[in-house]
Amino acid sequence: MKGTHTGSGETDAVWSALDRFQIELPSWGFANTGTRFGKFIQPAAATTIEEKFADAGEVHRLTGASPTVALHVLWDLPNGLGDIGEIKRLEAKYGVRAGSINPNLFQSQEYKFGSIANPSAEVRAMAIRHLLDSVAIGQALGSLDVSLWVSDGSNYPGTQSIRRRIDWVQEALDRTHAALSPAQRMLVEYKPFEPAFYHTDIADWGMALEFARSAGPQAKVLVDTGHHSQATNIEQIVAWLLHLDALGGFHFNDRKYADDDLTLGSVDPYQVFRIFAELAAAGAEETAGVAFMIDQSHNLKGKVEAMVQTVMTAQELYAKASLIPFERLAALQDGGELVGAEECFRESFWQDVRPLVQAWREARGLPANPLHALRSSGYVERVAEERGARASSTLGSYA
């Protein structure tokens, strides 16, 4: 039950922001993951879909901010619609719901030369069937978003027709959009490189925007904070997509170089703050449909611990952005007072909002410090003991 308070304007702003802030957890973030060079096994890592739901439920219980779990079709629903009953059972048991549905267009051997942009019509048809199956799964689970990351591209000039592949990608997205129910959206993600290093078929936000617009009104752009070249101004992209009513959501992580999948804010919390500042400037009504999702791999950090840490960081940075005095900032900007405007902006970033966030948690029956509560609960140690034998024999990349 929500608490009440008669606090200051800052308290009101932070509590209101936290009440509406929800960030989705990725099922794959709780599993053993690795790099192309190998995988480091953790005894507490989830090896089944039930264990993923259990971990997600624990994070939500501690933070109160993550009621949904993103599902990866190939890894979490290998039987497609045949797994719906099990997912619904797990939702009821662990208190978190299925969130975005993520098709897998990169793992099958048939996708060596691409999925929806493959030169083979047979392979393209296979990929489209998977997309349509993913839409049907989302409908059966009542999920809002079908989230598409297309890894297609090429590594060498002249080996693929870039122009023909544009048409193939558009055809696949058009057919996927046509299958959506009125309650669903299609989010189109982009990435400049990896695994394709010469050209990627959806390489930046402009390409994603054009594909989404051409597909139809239920398609939006998804911004993964790791999917950008060095020094890209991500908050400017966010501002443009908000301006165009085309921002569907985020995959949050952090990076030092490219798609490092580090925990949110671990390298550059100021960038995350700047992104949240653009959302705060737009206002709650304009950003109500923007989905916040975590997409990061904890290869060295403990899975549940890192996820709790990430949610806490996201809450704190979102709270900081809610404190920006935009009217005063606009006056300084319009007056050409550069130092004053920058300091006005930075004041909110430097403010220690942790006492306000902790008070909000306590008022809502949550632990003041979820990470400390996790450590003292013994949850990680208990599941490590229960899962250790299975985890040590788990093979594969992300499953």
What angle separates helix 84-94 from helix 49-63, to the nearest 10 degrees? 30
CA 246 to chain centre: 16
Tokens representing 2 are 């929500």
> Which domains are present in the chain?
9-391 (3.20.20.150)
Q: Please count the CA atoms within 13 angstroms of the CA of 300 that sit on its side-chain side.
A: 4
Query: How many helices (H) and strands (E) would you count in the chain?
Result: 15, 12
What is the reported pLDDT for 298?
86
Instruction: From 340, 374, 344, 370, select the one nearest 358 (Cα to Cα).
Output: 370
What is the reported pLDDT for 392?
54
CA 71 to chain centre: 11
User: pLDDT tens per residue, the chain (399 residues)?
Assistant: 344 444 589 999 999 999 999 999 999 999 998 777 888 899 999 999 999 999 999 999 999 999 999 999 999 999 999 999 999 999 999 999 999 999 999 999 999 999 999 999 999 999 999 999 999 999 999 999 999 999 999 999 999 999 999 999 999 999 999 999 999 999 999 999 999 999 999 999 999 999 999 999 999 999 999 999 999 999 999 999 999 999 999 999 999 999 999 999 999 999 999 999 999 999 999 999 999 999 998 889 999 999 999 999 999 999 999 999 999 999 999 999 999 999 999 999 999 999 999 999 999 999 999 999 999 999 999 999 999 866 555 444 444
In whole angstroms, give the CA distance from residue 291 to residue 39: 30
pTM of the complete model beyond 0.85: yes
Please check whether residue 272 is in contact with residue 338, taking contact to mean a CB–CB distance below 8 angstroms.
Answer: no
What is the reported pLDDT for 399?
45
